[in-house]
Amino acid sequence: MSGQPPTLGVGMVGFGFIGKVHAHAYRSQRLFYDPPPALPRLVGVCTTRPETAQRAAEQGEFAFGTDRFEDLLARDDIDIIDVATPNPLHHDQVIAALEAGKHVYCDKPLAVTLDEARAIVAAAQARPELTHGMALHCRFVPATMRARQLIDEDRLGRVFHFRAAYLHSGYEDPQRPISWRLSKEAGGGVLSDLGSHIIDLMAWLLGPFGTVQASAETFIRERPVAAGSGERATVEVEDYVAFQAWMQSGALGFVEASRFATGLQDQLEFSIFGEQGALRFDLMNPNWLLFFDAQDKGGDLGGERGFKMIECVQRYPKPSALPSPKLGIGWVRYHIHAIHDLLAAVAEGRLGGATLFDGARVQAVDDAVRKSMQTGSQVAVPDI
Amino acid sequence: MSGQPPTLGVGMVGFGFIGKVHAHAYRSQRLFYDPPPALPRLVGVCTTRPETAQRAAEQGEFAFGTDRFEDLLARDDIDIIDVATPNPLHHDQVIAALEAGKHVYCDKPLAVTLDEARAIVAAAQARPELTHGMALHCRFVPATMRARQLIDEDRLGRVFHFRAAYLHSGYEDPQRPISWRLSKEAGGGVLSDLGSHIIDLMAWLLGPFGTVQASAETFIRERPVAAGSGERATVEVEDYVAFQAWMQSGALGFVEASRFATGLQDQLEFSIFGEQGALRFDLMNPNWLLFFDAQDKGGDLGGERGFKMIECVQRYPKPSALPSPKLGIGWVRYHIHAIHDLLAAVAEGRLGGATLFDGARVQAVDDAVRKSMQTGSQVAVPDI
Amino acid sequence: MSGQPPTLGVGMVGFGFIGKVHAHAYRSQRLFYDPPPALPRLVGVCTTRPETAQRAAEQGEFAFGTDRFEDLLARDDIDIIDVATPNPLHHDQVIAALEAGKHVYCDKPLAVTLDEARAIVAAAQARPELTHGMALHCRFVPATMRARQLIDEDRLGRVFHFRAAYLHSGYEDPQRPISWRLSKEAGGGVLSDLGSHIIDLMAWLLGPFGTVQASAETFIRERPVAAGSGERATVEVEDYVAFQAWMQSGALGFVEASRFATGLQDQLEFSIFGEQGALRFDLMNPNWLLFFDAQDKGGDLGGERGFKMIECVQRYPKPSALPSPKLGIGWVRYHIHAIHDLLAAVAEGRLGGATLFDGARVQAVDDAVRKSMQTGSQVAVPDI
Amino acid sequence: MSGQPPTLGVGMVGFGFIGKVHAHAYRSQRLFYDPPPALPRLVGVCTTRPETAQRAAEQGEFAFGTDRFEDLLARDDIDIIDVATPNPLHHDQVIAALEAGKHVYCDKPLAVTLDEARAIVAAAQARPELTHGMALHCRFVPATMRARQLIDEDRLGRVFHFRAAYLHSGYEDPQRPISWRLSKEAGGGVLSDLGSHIIDLMAWLLGPFGTVQASAETFIRERPVAAGSGERATVEVEDYVAFQAWMQSGALGFVEASRFATGLQDQLEFSIFGEQGALRFDLMNPNWLLFFDAQDKGGDLGGERGFKMIECVQRYPKPSALPSPKLGIGWVRYHIHAIHDLLAAVAEGRLGGATLFDGARVQAVDDAVRKSMQTGSQVAVPDI
């Protein structure tokens, strides 16, 4: 790349936890990539009220804050709309942004229903000149990127079966009060919240899901309306979901997502078993990808067969420049690389490494799993 | 216990891999337990041909070898019949042994069909004065024994969900020839071979299975009849089975057994998540049981919450005397303790720690899983 | 804290790897802490040449760049001088900054000689109203902070012995060319580069070092002057250093630092064994601190004795707000918290959590180790 | 080998913990190896009193028990004397056995002093037709055997430095009473007890020790004479020893042995760093040997560099037949293979895989470490 990288104006809608993470990731680009593919400029942030918008602008160092989404869409100096709102709002905002000619970066899950997701897909297809990306940060971990490389190089051969899980805790206490996240308004329970990550990751690594058969449970069906309150409200979403999957490739799999995995934190893990090799990964030990190469042949003492702990640390491809590729990695870094990919995609006029289409594919699996949760029978994953 | 421990004569039928393991375990009792609950005497061994019987007697240091099972049953100095034959033979031999008034120790799985298992149960119930045990050695690992203790002490509280798997490799190569184990005569595929262990272990820890929904796969459906041969034979049993389980307690679970888990060896593992705590275990790291105590309360820096790696090593209760309870443990040791339990049960006139009834219960789960594998629908586990 | 946090102007000298890390950490404060103790403003950056200074200013988003250090000292709107230059320059720059009335944050190691370090200490003592901090980021890892808490709560009791190591690789290839880091100008070899971290960490956890006895080695004594060159230059610093330590508390220890630990990356680890408990940590698995509580009493099966993997993840005390305390941590995050501590210290008019005095204490140990490396005999650590 | 394996008569002196382990290992040979290199027959056992001898004979299934060592030496049907007594007795018994024309298997450490060890060496050299072995079981672990293979194949290249430790706990409580093991009569403290294993292992892997520099500590210098007693006795041996080592090959190392490593059990571990590769091992995770191959070259994402967890489980070379080479291993198994090696050596008329000479070499290192512990200076390891 010759000359100065382009400047790209960013408008963000929503400034909760994930909005702050995105803002931090934009701000980190200049230092983490050398040269950066583009220089992001945080132009405007939109929240629900003028006061919070003002505070968001200060905290995130945006040029201005507003409570009117149209203010972002109207600005010529905003190239990218970063949708960091609760998922029930994504459909309208993403489509409006696309129609206003903005590139889009959307938090996961893409939408609440498959119909919404399809409408977004149609809007994106209507504007092929626009870049879009999804905040599926698990694709941007050095170890998962390396897993993808190994699969692309056919190092696993035919995949027989796999296991994948995203296990969290925090809801085991029946006295924990009800919250928005446990209501229908959240647009789904643990399946859309955590399941979307692991579904996307496995589809990215192993190709599309074919058929699923699911079960789910709401372990605690009523909770206090507030801490210590005797009044109770109904939990409207699932706490736990598990499903068997038949991939289009013929591989069998089992996928789990839980908010009731007592003692675990952010435990995203997978094992993939193939004819030529196997892969294992655990996001809480993200510095290594485990790879077994079935080509290794053993001797009397077993030769050198075994899982290799491939060192992944901060090993991103150039222009990654910070931190050193020898240092232990963590959660923030994945988002910085996800935003890097978005900016590079916009600069290069290509789609992002994870797109609205990918988000819609996750939604289609979500839709099938949700139907199977209710009927107990096998459900084919629909097209998007 | 005062005075000399009783001597118990053992007759063994079958002397393949597992027969040798049992023989070694009997021979190890005098040194591993002080005092031993009983002194086993290896009286006779029965195999299919006189020559192999003679060799088995020498190798196992039995007083005699025979190719006639009746020779074992007829002997007054044989108290225990150890059934170490392929599972299709268990039904006739176990019932004959019980009818001959012998205590019985039977290798897993108990039988080929639930009907067979029920007939064995009836035979055992008809002779309540006889002790019987099953070679379900996973119950005799210090870490699983400790897991059971913690559950009995109600340290987990209500169990929400669990995962359990028994993963092996070795069959991934399509050129590996067909073998008896892959034919219908083996009495089942990976479900009865490996699945029986993990089914029993979870039932022992968490109570009876209620309903199951399964899928299975034979990944390689034809294999050479011999190494290098162009002639092919059909694989008649499943290579992989996975099922969701609804326990009678209300807990949800997912259970897997595989011979196609490339790169893994004897990987029996489980995670159990409860309201008050969680447990994790992996037979390849058998020196530790991981226990999370949800009673631990965190402070600013997270207090002291976390999985404790409970040291299990060779920590068997007295009269265990060898090796030192401070040394790393291994597979052979579990069988030595399983046989110890059998001998103590006979000496004390009680049932073994794992019984023919337990074996039949596994068979009932096996039966339901097998039905569900064919229909894809939920199947209730029948009574035994 | 009421009202708006104060704004603190930062001037940075040096903008290599560690300068960029510091710049990123300053920029991350607004989002990572809520409220932040102070709002850093990146005012000026000084490098050796006007062009690089200009580029540093753009990359780090400083208001200006300069090649004259005096330009930073002269500015009223610069409150803090961040010294991110090679260590031979620290002495003059730190003293000049203190004399100009600036708070100081200095990269490790503090200096090249103990005399230099003592002069810096004197300068700092002469200006007690100024805050100073050292970039000893290992003190700002949740797991090490938790280790310190447990020690402060006397959970280890009398410490018997410990092991600590900082192991890196990268220099094993004899064809790797010579570089500035391998010359005397670097101000020391692996002892000052990596050893300074582990020395500081152990002094912070266990109190001052008393006596040391060291050995060191330069495994490859000559290297090509450039890749592929036949000309060779002498390596002037040590590749590996190890020393036994007698702490003032009576504890014995062994400390190692290596650039030749083939296959390892950033492997800082320690084990501390005390009468009441033990601690183990490994920076490549930073989400957990292992703690053994000797108060746990065992029963027949060994009770619940064992190392607890205390979950540390991103568990920083408030006002830490980003990322969520449940997400896996990484190297960048420690520096963000180190800078947070600096800003809080300045805002509160106290010394930083790691000070120039701490840096000088490391230098005193370094000095004693270096003498012992040459004589092979025990050397008492001098006062600072 | 054609025909029937020879029968070898065994006489054992001493029947404490390690004697029982050896007896069990002899008894396991027929089943664990097919064909076994020789059939051991347990002829006689000698202890200090007739009653204990009688009980030992029953427990170990020896043909007779005696309190007169001469009774063993006089028997023609005893080929091997297994010396399982406390080390102060080894010198006289080993020499007497050799002079009586018996093959010898001796528990470690070989002796109390280097002079004693040299006398044993002379006696062994005087009878070159006799086989001798040492119970250095760490040489007979599949993972350490594999480590040796990799080193023999020059997969590490020049070794730069290594770390090795044998860490135990159990003596941290000052109220634990004095015992024989803590007196001078034991013939040494933790250095001879645990240190002998790790010294031998590193010499076996890396060649002879050159020079050492040691420190040691007796952390608790007085203990009650009995539980609850107010009377105190002096601890006469070291609790902890650590030494730096310069190997004859030029490699630097650090070796530790401790009985005060709170929370650890049988933690024998090593890391070896070489120009072409590195090895790591931990006896508490004995199923794997970690190997880093520096020949692996990395790409953008770090290629496939990383430690491979070489699966070691029960992978012994043929004629090993039990248990299956796919099952997790444990401590007892190492001793079974050590005795196997002894029997094969006798049958083949060769020295054992670990000999009295090896035992004497450990004694020479022990001697040098002990001298350095007192003077603090470097001491060259003497010849044997």
Round to whole Å and give the CA distance between D87 and D13.
12
Round to whole Å and give the CA distance between C319 and B19.
64
pLDDT at A1: 38
DSSP category for residue B344? H
Tens of pLDDT along D179-196? 988 998 888 899 999 999
- Whether C311 sits inside 8 A of B291 (CB atoms) is no
Q: Which fold has domain A7-136?
A: Rossmann fold (3.40.50)
Task: Tell me the CB-side half-sphere exposure of residue B38, using CA atoms within 13 A.
Answer: 22
Q: Smallest CA–CA separation between C14 and chain A, in Å?
A: 15
Inform me whether the pLDDT recorded for D1 exceeds 60: no
Dihedral angle sign, alpha carbons of residues C367, C373, C375, C381:
positive
Tens of pLDDT along B214-250? 999 999 999 999 999 999 999 999 999 999 999 999 9
Q: Which of D305, D309, D318 sits opposite A311 (nearest CB)?
A: D305
pLDDT band at B302 (very low <50, low <70, confident <90, very high): low
pLDDT at D303: 64
**Spans of all domains in chain C:** 7-138, 139-327+360-380
Q: Which of B173, B240, B252 sits opposite A240 (nearest CB)?
A: B252
- List subunits contacting chain C, requiring 3 or more Cβ pairs under 8 Å: A, B, D
Average pLDDT over residues A33-56: 95
pLDDT band at A304 (very low <50, low <70, confident <90, very high): confident
Listed in sequence order, the residues at least 6 apart from C346 whose beta carbon sits closer than 8 Å to its beta carbon are C8, C38, C79, C80, C103, C131
ipTM of this complex: 0.93
Inform me whether the pLDDT recorded for A324 exceeds 90: no
Inform me whether the pLDDT recorded for D359 exceeds 60: yes
The average confidence (pLDDT) of chain D is: 93
Tens of pLDDT along B319-356? 888 888 778 888 888 889 889 899 999 989 999 899 99
Core vs surface per residue C205-230: b (16+ CB within 10 A) or e: bbeebbbbbbbbbbbbeebbeeeeee
* Closest by CA position to A333, among listed A179, A200, A156, A143: A143
For the record, the structure tokens of A83 come out as 């949708």
CB atoms closer than 10 angstroms to residue D224: 16
- Whether B302 sits inside 8 A of C325 (CB atoms) is yes
Domain D139-329+360-380 maps to which CATH number in 3.40.640.10, 3.30.360.10, 3.30.230.10, 3.20.20.70?
A: 3.30.360.10
Residues of C with CB under 8 A from a CB of B: 142, 145-146, 149, 288, 290-291, 298, 300-313, 315-318, 325
pLDDT at C11: 97
Average pLDDT over residues A109-129: 96
pLDDT at C319: 79
pLDDT at A298: 55
**Max CA distance (Å), chain D:** 73
Query: Between B373 and A187, whose confidence is greater?
Result: B373
pLDDT band at D81 (very low <50, low <70, confident <90, very high): very high
The backbone torsions φ and ψ at residue B117, rounded to the nearest 5 degrees and listed phi first, read -60, -40
| Residue in chain B nearest A308 by alpha carbon | B263
Helix (H) or strand (E) holding B92: helix B90-99
Architecture of domain C7-138: 3-Layer(aba) Sandwich (3.40)
Query: Between C134 and A311, whose confidence is greater?
Result: C134
The average confidence (pLDDT) of chain B is: 93
Tens of pLDDT along C68-96? 999 999 999 999 999 999 999 999 999 99
| Percentage of chain D lying above the pLDDT 90 cut | 82
Inform me whether the pLDDT recorded for A228 exceeds 70: yes
> CA dihedral defined by A258, A263, A268, A270, rounded to 10 degrees?
-90
β-strand partners of B278: B273, B292
Architecture of domain B7-137: 3-Layer(aba) Sandwich (3.40)
pLDDT at A37: 87
D262, D320, D332, best to mutate vs chain B, most B CBs in 10 Å: D332
Q: Smallest CA–CA separation between C115 and chain A, in Å?
A: 32
pLDDT band at B1 (very low <50, low <70, confident <90, very high): very low
Architecture of domain C139-327+360-380: 2-Layer Sandwich (3.30)
D161, D241, D246, D307, best to mutate vs chain C, most C CBs in 10 Å: D161
pLDDT band at B303 (very low <50, low <70, confident <90, very high): low
Residues of D with CB under 8 A from a CB of C: 160-161, 163, 165, 169, 172-174, 213, 215, 217, 219, 239-240, 242, 244, 246, 252, 254, 256, 258, 260-264, 271, 273-275, 277-278, 292, 294, 305-307, 376-378
Whether the Cβ atoms of residue A352 and residue A134 lie closer than 8 Å to each other: yes
| Burial of residue C49, with CB atoms counted within 10 A of its CB: 0-12 exposed, 13-18 middle, 19 or more buried | exposed
Dihedral angle sign, alpha carbons of residues C206, C207, C213, C216:
positive
Query: How do beta strands C39-46 and C7-13 pair?
Result: parallel
The 3 state secondary structure assigned to C104-146 is EEECCCCCCCHHHHHHHHHHHHCCCCCCEEECCHHHHCHHHHH
pLDDT at B58: 95
The backbone torsions φ and ψ at residue A378, rounded to the nearest 5 degrees and listed phi first, read -70, 135
C329, C331, C333, C336, best to mutate vs chain A, most A CBs in 10 Å: C331
Whether the Cβ atoms of residue B381 and residue B364 lie closer than 8 Å to each other: yes
Inform me whether the pLDDT recorded for B309 exceeds 80: yes
DSSP category for residue B99? H
Among the listed ranges A312-326, D269-283, D315-329, which one has the minimum average pLDDT value?
Answer: A312-326
Domain A139-325+360-380 maps to which CATH number in 3.40.47.10, 3.30.160.60, 3.20.20.210, 3.30.360.10?
A: 3.30.360.10
Among the listed ranges A90-99, A121-130, D323-332, which one has the minimum average pLDDT value?
Answer: D323-332
pLDDT at C1: 39
Average pLDDT over residues D91-115: 96
Tens of pLDDT along B254-268? 999 999 999 998 999
Inform me whether the pLDDT recorded for D238 exceeds 90: yes
For the record, the structure tokens of A215 come out as 């079960």
pLDDT at D187: 80
pLDDT at D334: 87
Inform me whether the pLDDT recorded for B298 exceeds 90: no
Provide, as residue numbers in chain D, all residues whose Cβ is less than 8 Å from the Cβ of C306: 263
Round to whole Å and give the CA distance between C152 and A202.
45
**Beta-sheet strand order (sheet of A132-134):** A64-66, A39-46, A7-13, A80-83, A103-106, A132-134
Tens of pLDDT along D8-57? 999 999 999 999 999 999 999 999 999 998 999 999 999 999 999 999 99
Whether the Cβ atoms of residue C100 and residue C76 lie closer than 8 Å to each other: no
pLDDT at A94: 97
pLDDT at C301: 57
State which residues of chain C have pLDDT below 70. Answer: 1-3, 297-303, 326
pLDDT at B27: 94
